[in-house]
Structure 1
Amino acid sequence: MRKANQPIAQLAIFGYHQAMSCMFPVAIFGTLALSNVIAPPFLHRYDFVLLILLIVQGLMYRCGIETRDELKVIGVFHLIGLLLELYKVRIGSWSYPEPGFTKLLGVPLYSGFMYASVASYLCQIWRRLRMDMTGWPGLAKSGSLGAAIYLNFFTHHYIPDYRWWLTLLVVVVFRRTWIIYRVRDRTYRMPLTAAFLIVGFFIWLAENIATFFHAWTYPNQHQAWHPVGIGKISSWFLLVIISVILVAWLKHVKVNRGQM
């Protein structure tokens, strides 16, 4: 009986760590949902969301849920996401139609947190499941690939979109890379590219929730909400890679400092 219950217990603990690692993304979508139903007093909605997310990040750091180094990675990814948002909004890929004092060139500053939440999740789950990787191609190859992926988000509006070639390159570069993770005393592993796809799929689901609550609006959603096209999973798949490279860089630096 004890052995029969072990897989259920392992799954329950794995699910617990996943849920705890999603604390910041849940705060984002919870705030978006609540502010969409109940108008915040004294503040525009975008300003209210930014204020709440800053408070949540501060509390997570003060309570030891996130470390100083993890906060730096989240900050970097917030900036990366905000730059992408500024560009995409300028060319009309999507928009933020509501007013706000904390908008920069039509983009609310809270939007960068939606990208940073991916980095927050990865930092959390990496530490909670004591993750490691084998067959990592190195920071030079992975960093160059990550830079090419990020650049393609900007250039595909003017030159051919190379996302599928980049996806193929991801498979080639990370073909020998496996994620090692631990649940209690058991060790598991899975291909890193499979993890990219799984996380990208769940971000796509979250994107549908976010647009439903008017976090941002795509051109075909101005009159009525429509589900986000499933092809967007490929974009999130590639974006997750950038997050993983940043987190891997953090872990590499910490190991070189003699930290665990």
Structure 2
Amino acid sequence: MLAAFDNHLMDARPRHMTWLRRGLIEFLYFGFKNARSCLFVFTFLAAMLLMPRSGILGIPRYDMLLIVALAIQFWMVYARLETWDELKAVCLFHVVGFALEAFKVSGSIQSWSYPDFAYTKTFGVPLFAGFMYASVGSYIVQAWRMFDLRIRHHPPYWMAALIAILIYANFFTHHYIGDYRWYLAACALGLYSRTVVIYRPLDRDRQMPLMLGFVLIGFFIWLAENIGTFWGLWRYPDQLGAWSIVHLSKWSSWSLLVIMTFTIVAGLKHIKSKIHIAEA
């Protein structure tokens, strides 16, 4: 049924309709395709919200979430909702995310913490945490296929890779040499100023600035982060006594992380073939 739904969503046969009806239908299909691209995100988020804090059958909550995340990934590959190449990219996001988490919860940094016990905690980080970063990559991978994304005026790949590396490094180094996120954001803005993403919500191509896409995805990740902290999956130091909204500055951090994630996804061979590199 899900495969049939995917085929229906990606059916690009021309439709003839009035401009008003087209606008409404394209808006609906845009929402459907985004929801479908969030398959891993929604299922994993549902598991996080529904999982009892005490765990299930004596298995701690964090460990059960790891089992659920692995089961979802196995099912997506088995059902051919995700290719092996895409799974490799998702695994890379998991590793990159886990390394960042291990640094952030370390005794000398303590940016946030995971208060509950888990057998699968390593360096103070439960292994399921990496899947929160992998879910961002999963969304981008799935959306690329569902919307038949094409990128125009993409900057030279070495420049995109360099800014992505610097963005990732800043998450570590800002604790020692200052936070340069806004300088990096300005560089990214200049780098992607001409870049547009072409997408197909229904049967016609539409386009939007790629930077706008980064900012919008970052906003929804920030909302999901508020949900996760509200449910006590992890906590920032100012949330230990009572929950409070995650600082709005995290939106910028997530938007920058989306740029890094996008660059990794763009490195996939079958996606790079659809990217137009500007010669001048």
The answer to whether the aligner puts 1:22 opposite 2:38 as a matched pair is yes
**Structure 1 contact 152–162 (Cα < 8 Å) conserved:** yes
Listed one character per residue, the Cα deviations across residues 200-236 of structure 1 (whole Å, up to 9, x for unaligned) are 0010001001111122111111111111011110100
Instruction: Give the residue type in structure 1 aligned to 2:179.
Output: D
| Gap runs ≥5 in structure 1 | none
Listed one character per residue, the Cα deviations across residues 67-97 of structure 1 (whole Å, up to 9, x for unaligned) are 1111011000100000000000001000001
Please, what TM-score do these two structures have when normalized by structure 1? 0.95
Match of 2:60 among 44, 48, 62: 44
The answer to whether the aligner puts 1:75 opposite 2:91 as a matched pair is yes
Instruction: Give the residue type in structure 1 aligned to 2:224.
Output: A
Higher mean C-alpha displacement, 97-106 vs 5-14: 5-14
Q: Give, in whole Å, the separation in 2 of the partners of 1:233 and 1:6.
A: 33
Please, what TM-score do these two structures have when normalized by structure 2? 0.88
1:184 Cα shift? 2.4
Match of 2:144 among 91, 113, 126: 126
- The residue aligned with 1:60 is 76
Instruction: Give the residue type in structure 1 aligned to 2:38.
Output: C
Q: Give SS of 1:133's match.
A: strand
The answer to whether the aligner puts 1:208 opposite 2:226 as a matched pair is yes
Q: Which runs of 4+ in 1 moved over 2 A?
A: 36-39, 251-256
Instruction: Give the residue type in structure 2 aligned to 1:17.
Output: K
**Structure 1 contact 196–237 (Cα < 8 Å) conserved:** yes
Listed one character per residue, the Cα deviations across residues 147-174 of structure 1 (whole Å, up to 9, x for unaligned) are 0000000000001110000000000111
Q: Give, in whole Å, the separation in 1 of the partners of 2:235 and 2:82.
A: 31
- The residue aligned with 2:251 is 233
Q: Give, in whole Å, the separation in 1 of the partners of 2:77 and 2:162.
A: 31
* Pairing of 1:92-171 with structure 2 (within 5 A): 92-171=110-189
Q: Give SS of 2:151's match.
A: strand
1:17 Cα shift? 0.7
Q: Give, in whole Å, the separation in 2 of the partners of 1:37 and 1:86.
A: 22
Q: Give, in whole Å, the separation in 2 of the partners of 1:161 and 1:31.
A: 34
Q: Give SS of 2:58's match.
A: coil
Q: Give, in whole Å, the separation in 2 of the partners of 1:201 and 1:233.
A: 6
| Gap runs ≥5 in structure 2 | 1-15, 275-280
The answer to whether the aligner puts 1:222 opposite 2:226 as a matched pair is no
Report how many aligned residue pairs link the two structures: 256
- The residue aligned with 2:21 is 5
1:42 Cα shift? 2.2
Q: Give SS of 2:154's match.
A: coil
1:36 Cα shift? 3.7
Q: Give, in whole Å, the separation in 1 of the partners of 2:186 and 2:270.
A: 26
**Structure 2 contact 161–263 (Cα < 8 Å) conserved:** yes
Listed one character per residue, the Cα deviations across residues 93-135 of structure 1 (whole Å, up to 9, x for unaligned) are 0000100000001100000000000000000001000001001
RMSD: 1.6
Q: Give, in whole Å, the separation in 2 of the partners of 1:31 and 1:41.
A: 15
**Structure 1 contact 36–213 (Cα < 8 Å) conserved:** no
- The residue aligned with 1:32 is 48
The answer to whether the aligner puts 1:88 opposite 2:104 as a matched pair is yes
**Structure 2 contact 217–258 (Cα < 8 Å) conserved:** yes
Q: Give, in whole Å, the separation in 1 of the partners of 2:62 and 2:203.
A: 44
Match of 2:261 among 238, 243, 246: 243
Listed one character per residue, the Cα deviations across residues 30-50 of structure 1 (whole Å, up to 9, x for unaligned) are 111111467422200000000
